[in-house]
Amino acid sequence: MISGVARTGNGDATVVGTRPDGRKRTIVFVRGRATGADISQADGNVTFSIQREGDLNMIRIGDERYEIPDAAVSGG
């Protein structure tokens, strides 16, 4: 679930998602594309992957899955 978005223009944004356990996950977008997340050593050896379906960014970070629409990133 998206709990906040900070946009800086040109498709750059930071999206904050809330995990089922209540902790937050930050995902960074540059020019409208997800480029990374706040992965730490505490997360273990997790992978970050992105798949696009239409205007939806499906992001996986280990076992976590986030679906972020382009409109959330661009404000449109």
Parse the chain into domains and list their residue ranges.
Answer: 2-74
Prediction pTM value: 0.86
Mean pLDDT by groups of 10 residues along the chain of 76 residues: 86 90 92 91 85 95 91 88
* Model pLDDT, residue 46: 87
* Model pLDDT, residue 76: 76
Q: Around Cβ 5, how many Cβ atoms within 10 Å?
A: 17
The CA-CA-CA angle for residues 53, 55, 59, to 5°, reads 60
Phi, psi of 41 (to 5 degrees): -60, -30
* Model pLDDT, residue 5: 93
> Residue 55 CA to chain centroid, in angstroms?
14
